[in-house]
Amino acid sequence: MKNTFIQVPAKALLLLAKVALPVLPFIFGFIFLKPKYILNYRETIQKLRIHHKALSQGPVRRYFESFFAVRLNESSQISGSCTQCGSCCLNQQCFFLEPIPEDKFQCGIYNSPFRKLSNCGAFPISGEDIERYDCPGYVLNPKTVIKIAVVN
């Protein structure tokens, strides 16, 4: 039941993105103030196709699972820091990802308020997130269980 509930908006969003693909370079170029998305139209479309395919392999479902709080949120048990490996950015296939020195990556729209509407602002929130991308920066700490002793 939960799965069906999540699958409907996930499939609808992916379909909408697919249909809108030809105009996305203009929309993204405008809202993220990146004329290169429009000037390099063919390259942008190519990268967006790869991005869309990667999105259809789980991240959109995850987005709705988090949005509707269906997904287990273990963020209070997670520690570590990001090493900028780019793995959680659709395995380095995110359209917005930009390479930087030392084999690291940075988000090209990190400071945009629109980014907050995406999946990326909430990663990782679970052990599943960490495992999915083999994140080298964060770990899920085991829960501390305080056992109740029997008092005689």
**Binding of ligand SF4 by 133 (CB under 6 A):** yes
- In the block, tokens 């960490």 appear at 130
Exactly one of 46, 75, 83, 91 binds ligand SF4 (CB under 6 A); that residue is 83
Binding mask 36-75 for ligand SF4 (x = CB under 6 A): ----------------------------------------
**Binding of ligand SF4 by 99 (CB under 6 A):** no
Site size toward ligand SF4 (CB under 6 A) is: 13
Distances (CA, A) of 84 to 69, 74, 81, 97, 151: 27, 21, 9, 11, 50
Residue type, 93: Q
| Residue of 109, 18, 49, 95 lying closest to 10 (CA atoms) | 18
Query: Does residue 124 contact residue 135 with C-beta atoms inside 8 Å?
Result: yes
**Binding of ligand SF4 by 94 (CB under 6 A):** no
| Shortest separation between residue 26's beta carbon and ligand SF4, angstroms | 29
**Binding of ligand SF4 by 91 (CB under 6 A):** no
Distances (CA, A) of 28 to 20, 24, 98, 103, 122: 11, 6, 15, 26, 21
Taking the CA of residue 74 as centre, how many other CA atoms within 13 Å lie in the half-sphere pointing to its CB? 16
Exactly one of 25, 29, 59, 86 binds ligand SF4 (CB under 6 A); that residue is 86
Cβ nearer to ligand SF4, comparing 44 with 119: 119
**Binding of ligand SF4 by 107 (CB under 6 A):** no
Exactly one of 85, 107, 122, 139 binds ligand SF4 (CB under 6 A); that residue is 85
| DSSP label of 40 | T
Exactly one of 8, 100, 136, 141 binds ligand SF4 (CB under 6 A); that residue is 136
